[in-house]
Amino acid sequence: MSGLTRRQFAGVLGLSAAALTMPIKAMGQAKPKVVVVGGGAGGATAARYLAMNSKGAVDITLIENSETYTTCFFSNLYLGGVREYDSITHRYDTLANDYDINIVQAYATEIDRSAKMVKLEDGSSIAYDRLVLSPGIDLLFDSVPGYSEQAAEIAPHAWQAGPQTKLLKDKLDALSNGDNVLMLAPPNPYRCPPGPYERVSMMAHLFKNKGMTNSTITIIDPKPKFSKQGLFTAGWENHYPGVIEWIGPDIHGGVLGVDVDAGTIETDFDTFEGTLLNIIPKQQAGAIAHQAELVNESGYCEIDSDSMRSVVDENIFIIGDASVAGAMPKSAFSANSQAKVAAMVILGDTIAARTFPARYSNTCWSMIGTDDGVKVGAQYASIDGKIESTSNFISQVDDDAMVRKATFAESLGWYDGITQDIFG
């Protein structure tokens, strides 16, 4: 608990330790109300586990802005022509019908923490005893001079799945042999550390399948190194020699800005040109977390590592990309894992359900080429107030083809499993 005992934590929040441990049911209320904002990898999992494990004893509302949810995970495979768009788009019907979760399709504009109310864009409010926030990320468009939400219609980010993903796919499919892609990768911390590098792999895969032998992809990266770097660079050399070029800050010297109409990224070293620009800007926790003043100076939300409870407000749990989750990367796997801890602790708070020490896990698979999957992952526990890795693993550059094929098959199984775990 960030170095604090439960009693000290309660003190910081101006509560007695007993108030923290007293189940809401015992406080005389019929059915505790849990509201979840954000129906993505974190939020929908939390809602489903709350419903499954409370067996009707808790009233659960899931507020989600969109009617359907398109996963960022496997969106790179869609770009590469390996998956159909429909296969990465999911509905909330099962959560509503089979789990009795009250799905509210609306944008949550405000959290009134003292009144414990979530306000919606139509002016109505929903009361909560415990609130789970899983709003994902917002993109800081102006962190890249010359980029904006309007510019993203010309140079898509596709870092929030849906229309942007389709736009990038349409623009990719419209390229001719000899056209080039220029990607601006994001600075840390951002959602899905291997994501940009899987994406360029899938773009090169598409070019290869279409016989676009004269097309290249250049990545301008603000980071000096990146996730699974050795695996990706070896894979690019193997599948797409000479197609993908990565340029780190020691070469480009810093990004000065983009001109989406001219198709250029200007750096301290040179101005790079591309037929298609994919600009992925800096990120921070979704707007609602900022409105509710739950973020720290990093733009993300600090949590108690034993519970995913906000260190600012004991009634609010923040999971997924919006949280500062120690050694865990921002991934759907992480969000799903954190959601289960938050759901468990909330049921402990509200109906005195039994709780266990928090355990978390993550694996990030990436597809580099046909039947060539790689992975990195870890188990985590709360140690001295931080989420720390307790064991980890990573694919090896010299893995044989059968191992890579099995790893890719494993990722397909993971996708089916996790989307069922999230959406029922």
Ligand X SMILES: Cc1cc2nc3c(=O)[nH]c(=O)nc-3n(C[C@H](O)[C@H](O)[C@H](O)COP(=O)(O)OP(=O)(O)OC[C@H]3O[C@@H](n4cnc5c(N)ncnc54)[C@H](O)[C@@H]3O)c2cc1C
Interface ranges with ligand X (CB under 6 A):
37-43, 63-66, 69, 72-73, 75-76, 107-108, 134-136, 159, 191-192, 195, 199, 286, 288, 320-322, 330-333, 335, 364-365
Q: For residues 243 and 328, which CB has a smaller minimum distance to ligand X in the complex?
A: 328
Reduced 3-state DSSP string for 142-188: HHCCCCCCCHHHCCCCCCCCCHHHHHHHHHHHCCCCCCCEEEECCCC
Q: For residues 54 and 331, which CB has a smaller minimum distance to ligand X in the complex?
A: 331
Least Å from the CB of residue 155 to ligand X? 16
> What is the H or E stretch that residue 207 is in?
helix 195-209
Q: For residues 64 and 266, which CB has a smaller minimum distance to ligand X in the complex?
A: 64
Q: How far is CA 238 from the centre of its chain?
A: 29
Q: For residues 54 and 75, which CB has a smaller minimum distance to ligand X in the complex?
A: 75
Least Å from the CB of residue 213 to ligand X? 26
Least Å from the CB of residue 218 to ligand X? 18
With left for phi above 0 and alpha for psi between -120 and 50, is residue 116 left, alpha or beta? left
Closest residue to bound ligand X by CB: 40
Q: For residues 10 and 316, which CB has a smaller minimum distance to ligand X in the complex?
A: 316
- Closest Cα partner for 314 from 343, 354, 346? 346
Q: Which amino acid is at 84?
A: E
Q: For residues 335 and 378, which CB has a smaller minimum distance to ligand X in the complex?
A: 335
Q: List residues bridging with 310 in a β-sheet.
A: 303
Q: For residues 212 and 289, which CB has a smaller minimum distance to ligand X in the complex?
A: 289
Least Å from the CB of residue 347 to ligand X? 19
Least Å from the CB of residue 402 to ligand X? 22
Least Å from the CB of residue 335 to ligand X? 4
Least Å from the CB of residue 23 to ligand X? 27
Give the whole-angstrom CA distance, residue 79 versus residue 57: 43
Q: For residues 184 and 322, which CB has a smaller minimum distance to ligand X in the complex?
A: 322
Give the whole-angstrom CA distance, residue 4 versus residue 166: 46
Q: What is the DSSP string of 99-149?
A: T--EEEES-EEEEETTTTEEEETTS-EEE-SEEEE---EEE-GGGSTT--T
Give the whole-angstrom CA distance, residue 139 versus residue 285: 9
Least Å from the CB of residue 202 to ligand X? 9
Give the three-class secondary structure for 347: helix
Instruction: Kindly give the pairing relationship between strand 181-184 and strand 217-220.
Output: parallel
